[in-house]
Chain A
Amino acid sequence: MGRMDAALIEMPERKPAKPSKRRASAEDLAQKQREISVSEFFAKNRHLLGFDSPRKALLTAVKEAVDNSLDACEEAGILPSITVVIEDLQPGRPASARSGRYRVTVVDNGPGIVRKQVENIFGRLLYGSKFHRLKMSRGQQGIGISAAGMYGLITTGQPMVIHTKPGAKAKAHHIELAMNTRTNRAEVTLDRETDDFPPSRLLASSSAAKNLGAAGELFAEGEFTTGTSVSIELEGRYQRGRGSVDEFLELTAIANPHGRFVFVPPSRESEAEDEQLELEQELPSKRRRRGAEADAEGEGHAPQADRSAKAGAKRGEGDGDGADERDGAAGSGIAAVTTELLGATIFPRAVGELPAETREIQPHPRGIELGTLLQMLKEYEAAEKGSLYAFLQERFCRISAASAASICKVVGVTSRTRISAVDTTLAEAIYREFQNARFPSPPTDCLSPIGVRQMLAGMLKGVRAEFYAASSREPAIYRGRPFQIEAAIAFGGDLPADEPARVIRFANRVPLLFQQSACSSFRGVVETSWRNYDLQQPRGSLPVGPIVIMLHVASVWVPFTSESKEAIADYDEIRKEMKLALMECGRKLGGYLRKRSRMRREGERRDVFERYIGEIVRAVHAINGTNEKQLFERLKQQAKRRTAIADQVLDEDGKVKKEEDPSALEGVIIVGETAPPPPPEIEAPSTRTRAAGRGTRSNAPASKSKPGATGSKSPPSRGGKAGTRGAGASTRAAAGDSPGSSASPGFRRFKRAADEQASLF
């Protein structure tokens, strides 16, 4: 959230209005002047932290909790498993209500939190481990989760409920705390030990949760031996589509393929605000859904769980097969594809290893400001009382003994000059020398890129397409801070062909959902010339075509344009790297498209030749009486040989093609277009593959139960056993240790494509 500085907080609450008539003396005023706590400031300025609308507040609460969980898991070396449950606490309220009361619960399998730190972490703003270091992590300031709790407290009066279990054998703590905004301290209202972790209450929270639990998908035995669960009650609004919790989790799952995410949404969705008057024009399927909801609401007095159970029954029976899909990484032979199951969404784990651990680095001399330098000098003086020469080497990265000596010489001091002798003028000289001298680039082991293979796995599970490519740039530097750009694209398949590309943006693996056009990555995409890669691109806009473009910026300090962390500032160095990464992906795409059209052409060629060979043989026979059969065979053989490229399609019956030169296409996945038809019995109406194309709005929950009702959606297959039979084997063989690959039930464009196959190379 906001990068705060002290000046903001110490602003006087009110200034004297008109100087014309003296209303109060300085003493009077002095009585009213007092310190403002951070919490008070943010309580009044909640929009700075992303709580500006009920819908966004719900998203922000989820986002902060999920980011914290992921960071905690990775630091502890645990493959994250995160469950998000949103409960609708006012089910009787009309669906058109502007906002309602929700309870957001995020459970992780992280290391847990030591009891005495709970109040600090959840009950204080600007308390955290991440602010003071130069290391890549999702959170940066230590505001997020406590702010979410504070928002909940302000809007509902309910304290935050925390369950945390720091050890597999240890008992879990159940703590409820409310923040005192005056003091920026937490007040604990309940504190007891419990064995109930993850909180079993959640399993009964809705019919979806119940069904998932029964299917072994929610809180499976052994999945949460340690961990933390945070529940916040807040005023919010649940509505799918752009900028929704669903989109956030979908994108988070793409950028964090090593995580498993389960999302249990509230039993119903708020009406889209701009759709309120459109009831008459709705699709029949939608109207039916509304009708079902109205029925449910008629029994408003019934206990919530019952109601949900009824809704769940309407949604279709669970068939208990879900367990097979639980965990891609567990090597159960199930490819990792996002699926909707029993009213919840499961984003399976696509890769089995954690991102590389990042190292904390000292600041780079190029990357600091004068004030920071002064502060550092002051701290060093207090701590070490050493020489400037030692200070330079110890407190910065990439300053060797030689360059430290050279700096000392340039600013006119010796290597024995004490820090205490460094005054502001001298500090300024040092600062100037920092800008002039040459230093090696900062070390880059502080960065943890997602990785080409991981990005492919992430895209593959979240986006239904035909071609995937990814590229990872070498780390680079902006303002003395290392950063690294990664890009991936998904092309074809079910993606809409005549809309502008969808750009999905990430900073340190966190999806950026708002302010797209203000973001450097958006400009990077627009400035890349996609026409070179056989895509349409109106001047100065996004390319048009069935394409999803992913851009990830990893840095120890991501330059956001504002406190709300929604867009990346437009540094030339960053944008240039983005374009280079996109161009690399684009080249792969261009190569693929050209190869694809060549394959088609060759296929057509063969058709033509084979059509005519019969005629030719007959004519030749009529002239010289040659052996018809022999000539026919010979010519057919030749036709086959000459159109060998087409064989890659014809002979292997739609299997994924190995490129002639795989090294030329590293970081690419191609999903075969034609495939043998799946056995019909694998189609199960209760499961649905989520296509991350666009407009998740169409994923209305109740429509899931009626495969026929949505019309355009093809009946889904379970994405499970049968659906991925071929894929499992071929993918793992090609991808080495990555089990994450594709099963693609329900590609409607691919006539028979439930058994499609993919390979990584």
Chain B
Amino acid sequence: MAKRTKTSGGKRPERDAKTKGRISSLADAVVTRANSGREPAIEIPTRARSNTIWNKKRGILEMGSATQERQLFNLNQARQFMQTLLHASTINDLIDAAKTSSLRGVFYKAKHTVAGTKENTFDEQDESDTILEDLEVALGSLREELHVFAENRGSMVGNITLVDKGDEIDCRRMGSGGYALPSIVEPDVIEFRKCDAKFVLHVEKGTVWNRFNEDRFWEKHGCILTHGAGQPPRGCRRLLQRLHTELKLPIICLLDCDPWGHYIYSVIKQGSISLAFESSRLAIPEARFLGIRAKDFVACKLSDAVKISLTDTDIKRAKEIAAYPWFAGHKGWQKEIDLLLTNGFKMEVESLITKDISYVTETYVPERLKARDWLE
């Protein structure tokens, strides 16, 4: 696979200069404000439900125009203000060195003890990750523009060949492990080459994905098979979106029959609140939900053994999801969630194994696909 091709990296220095300029102006603003005796503050678009707008026309969640000032002289914000500038400086260094770093690397690079105290600049990586997302929106730069990437998560296999940083990868020949999905899958990193898949089947977890890969489902049905290890990370979602928009492949999801599965579908389809600013790159409004469906317990004649009782949290969550604007007006989804609640139990994709080891790959999915029995 070591056939190297040139990437469209020519834009890089230009893009980096732009990012650096934005970081500089952030720092300059602090100096200007300090000199004029005003309070240093960073304007950050609000990443909260209140500032998330459901764009019905486009079918995606978008970030509103509300912004928040992150102030230095505010007891609740001072620490975050410091962290934001620390990360700005870290990213500045990364760009200068023309290197990228993992989220964890960035966390460690900025983590140290505040001079004269026992306090750490960052205690947890979560803190650091959130600040990076803040910076993304504040600078209006994408994560890859900040030279930061997340861990690889999720796998892909199927009828497609692509080029990753110059290396050609044939996803038909990935063995049992599949192609690990990197966190940055922008066209300058990954280019699609030969694709003879007719659709993408996205499953929730690696275990289910393994079943499908072992049964060579993608080969038989001419598709691409992906999973996102639960809630799919940005890299996975972006890749699905590119496959959908650039190669016009329908995205079909096979997720658990529980509020969590529904939520994953919702995120793939409309985007999430915390990453609403990226929705236009991530959301796939046309994504389809194949199953597992609440009706399947009866339809597939499953045994009682597959039932997992809904917890109070599940019930609450299900009701919340039913009230999402994009589900609220959707009869199919209202029925689906109603039935889930009436059933009082959830079902995992793996539960189909009670019928037969390959029931899901040989019977369930092909039948549903044929019958075009899915929710949209």
A residues bordering B, Cβ < 8 Å? 601, 604-605, 608-609, 611-616, 618-620, 622-624, 626, 631, 634-635, 638-639, 642
Decide: A642 and B73 in contact? CB cutoff 8 A: yes
Decide: A620 and B39 in contact? CB cutoff 8 A: no
Decide: A634 and B34 in contact? CB cutoff 8 A: yes
B26, B35, B73, B115 — most chain A CB neighbours (10 Å): B73
Q: Decide yes or no whether B85 CB sits under 8 A from chain A.
A: yes
Q: Decide yes or no whether B75 CB sits under 8 A from chain A.
A: yes
Given A614-B115, A615-B82, is A620 in contact with B30 using a C-beta cutoff of 8 Å? yes
Q: Decide yes or no whether B328 CB sits under 8 A from chain A.
A: no
Question: Contacting A604 at CB < 8 Å: which of B28, B75, B85, B121?
Answer: B75
Question: Contacting A619 at CB < 8 Å: which of B24, B35, B86, B116?
Answer: B86
> CA of A449 to CA of B88 in the docked complex: distance in angstroms?
68
Residues of A within 8 A of B31 (CB): 620, 624, 626, 631
Decide: B75 and A605 in contact? CB cutoff 8 A: yes
**Chain A nearest CB, measured from B311 CB (Å):** 39
> CA of A622 to CA of B90 in the docked complex: distance in angstroms?
9
Question: Contacting A638 at CB < 8 Å: which of B37, B93, B116?
Answer: B37
Q: Decide yes or no whether B203 CB sits under 8 A from chain A.
A: no
> CA of A641 to CA of B78 in the docked complex: distance in angstroms?
16
Decide: A612 and B72 in contact? CB cutoff 8 A: yes
B residues bordering A, Cβ < 8 Å? 23-24, 26-28, 30-31, 34-35, 37, 39-40, 72-73, 75, 78-79, 81-82, 85-86, 88-89, 92-93, 114-117, 119, 121
Given A609-B72, A623-B26, is A616 in contact with B116 using a C-beta cutoff of 8 Å? no
**Chain A nearest CB, measured from B264 CB (Å):** 37
Decide: A619 and B39 in contact? CB cutoff 8 A: no
Decide: B92 and A622 in contact? CB cutoff 8 A: yes
**Chain B nearest CB, measured from A601 CB (Å):** 8
Residues of A within 8 A of B85 (CB): 615-616, 619-620, 623
Decide: B89 and A631 in contact? CB cutoff 8 A: no
- Interchain Cβ contacts under 8 Å between A and B, 26 examples: A611-B114, A611-B117, A612-B78, A614-B116, A615-B82, A615-B85, A615-B114, A615-B115, A615-B121, A616-B82, A618-B89, A619-B82, A619-B86, A619-B89, A620-B31, A620-B89, A622-B89, A622-B92, A623-B26, A623-B85, A624-B31, A634-B34, A634-B35, A635-B40, A635-B72, A638-B73
Residues of A within 8 A of B114 (CB): 611-612, 614-615
Identify the closest chain A residue to B28 (Cβ): A624
> CA of A613 to CA of B34 in the docked complex: distance in angstroms?
11
Decide: A623 and B119 in contact? CB cutoff 8 A: no
Decide: A615 and B86 in contact? CB cutoff 8 A: yes
> CA of A626 to CA of B34 in the docked complex: distance in angstroms?
12
Decide: B75 and A624 in contact? CB cutoff 8 A: no
Residues of A within 8 A of B89 (CB): 618-620, 622-623
> CA of A626 to CA of B89 in the docked complex: distance in angstroms?
13
Question: Contacting B92 at CB < 8 Å: which of A614, A616, A623, A631?
Answer: A623
Residues of A within 8 A of B35 (CB): 634
Decide: B82 and A638 in contact? CB cutoff 8 A: no
> CA of A624 to CA of B24 in the docked complex: distance in angstroms?
6
> CA of A612 to CA of B75 in the docked complex: distance in angstroms?
11
Identify the closest chain A residue to B86 (Cβ): A619
B28, B75, B88 — most chain A CB neighbours (10 Å): B75
> CA of A624 to CA of B25 in the docked complex: distance in angstroms?
9
Identify the closest chain B residue to A623 (Cβ): B27
Identify the closest chain B residue to A641 (Cβ): B37
Residues of A within 8 A of B119 (CB): 611
Residues of A within 8 A of B81 (CB): 612, 616
Decide: A619 and B34 in contact? CB cutoff 8 A: no
Identify the closest chain A residue to B23 (Cβ): A623
Residues of A within 8 A of B24 (CB): 623-624
> CA of A620 to CA of B92 in the docked complex: distance in angstroms?
11
> CA of A294 to CA of B72 in the docked complex: distance in angstroms?
69
> CA of A515 to CA of B116 in the docked complex: distance in angstroms?
58
Given A611-B117, A623-B27, A624-B24, is A638 in contact with B75 using a C-beta cutoff of 8 Å? no
Residues of B within 8 A of A639 (CB): 73
> CA of A619 to CA of B92 in the docked complex: distance in angstroms?
10
**Chain A nearest CB, measured from B183 CB (Å):** 25
* Extra pairs beyond A611-B119, A616-B40, A620-B27 (17, CB < 8 Å): A601-B75, A604-B75, A605-B73, A605-B75, A608-B75, A609-B72, A609-B78, A611-B114, A611-B116, A616-B85, A619-B86, A622-B89, A623-B24, A623-B92, A624-B27, A635-B40, A642-B39
Decide: A619 and B88 in contact? CB cutoff 8 A: yes
Residues of B within 8 A of A619 (CB): 27, 82, 85-86, 88-89
**Chain B nearest CB, measured from A633 CB (Å):** 9
> CA of A272 to CA of B30 in the docked complex: distance in angstroms?
71
> CA of A626 to CA of B24 in the docked complex: distance in angstroms?
11
Decide: B34 and A635 in contact? CB cutoff 8 A: yes
**Chain A nearest CB, measured from B74 CB (Å):** 9
Decide: B34 and A631 in contact? CB cutoff 8 A: yes
Residues of B within 8 A of A608 (CB): 75, 78-79
Decide: A623 and B88 in contact? CB cutoff 8 A: yes
Residues of B within 8 A of A638 (CB): 34, 37, 39, 73
> CA of A638 to CA of B24 in the docked complex: distance in angstroms?
22
> CA of A639 to CA of B78 in the docked complex: distance in angstroms?
11
Residues of B within 8 A of A635 (CB): 34, 40, 72
**Chain A nearest CB, measured from B128 CB (Å):** 14
**Chain A nearest CB, measured from B213 CB (Å):** 46
**Chain A nearest CB, measured from B44 CB (Å):** 16
> CA of A611 to CA of B115 in the docked complex: distance in angstroms?
7
> CA of A18 to CA of B93 in the docked complex: distance in angstroms?
115
Residues of A within 8 A of B121 (CB): 615
Residues of B within 8 A of A604 (CB): 75
Decide: A616 and B115 in contact? CB cutoff 8 A: no
A605, A620, A622, A638 — most chain B CB neighbours (10 Å): A620
Decide: B40 and A626 in contact? CB cutoff 8 A: no
Identify the closest chain B residue to A643 (Cβ): B73
Question: Contacting B73 at CB < 8 Å: which of A609, A618, A623?
Answer: A609
Residues of A within 8 A of B116 (CB): 611, 614
> CA of A611 to CA of B88 in the docked complex: distance in angstroms?
19
Residues of B within 8 A of A614 (CB): 114-116
Residues of A within 8 A of B40 (CB): 616, 635
Question: Contacting B27 at CB < 8 Å: which of A611, A612, A615, A626?
Answer: A626
> CA of A605 to CA of B30 in the docked complex: distance in angstroms?
19
Identify the closest chain A residue to B34 (Cβ): A634
Residues of A within 8 A of B82 (CB): 612, 615-616, 619
**Chain A nearest CB, measured from B165 CB (Å):** 29
**Chain B nearest CB, measured from A119 CB (Å):** 76
B34, B92, B119 — most chain A CB neighbours (10 Å): B34
**Chain A nearest CB, measured from B141 CB (Å):** 14
> CA of A639 to CA of B71 in the docked complex: distance in angstroms?
12
> CA of A638 to CA of B39 in the docked complex: distance in angstroms?
8
**Chain A nearest CB, measured from B196 CB (Å):** 49
> CA of A182 to CA of B79 in the docked complex: distance in angstroms?
88
**Chain B nearest CB, measured from A609 CB (Å):** 6
> CA of A157 to CA of B35 in the docked complex: distance in angstroms?
90
> CA of A639 to CA of B39 in the docked complex: distance in angstroms?
9
> CA of A612 to CA of B70 in the docked complex: distance in angstroms?
14
Decide: B34 and A612 in contact? CB cutoff 8 A: no
**Chain B nearest CB, measured from A636 CB (Å):** 10
Residues of B within 8 A of A620 (CB): 27, 30-31, 85, 89
> CA of A611 to CA of B73 in the docked complex: distance in angstroms?
12
Top 7 A-B pairs ranked by shortest CB distance?
A: A623-B27, A619-B89, A619-B85, A612-B82, A634-B34, A622-B89, A624-B27
Identify the closest chain B residue to A608 (Cβ): B78
**Chain A nearest CB, measured from B85 CB (Å):** 4
Identify the closest chain B residue to A636 (Cβ): B34
> CA of A620 to CA of B33 in the docked complex: distance in angstroms?
13
Residues of A within 8 A of B75 (CB): 601, 604-605, 608
> CA of A285 to CA of B347 in the docked complex: distance in angstroms?
74
Residues of A within 8 A of B93 (CB): 622
Identify the closest chain B residue to A624 (Cβ): B27
**Chain B nearest CB, measured from A639 CB (Å):** 7
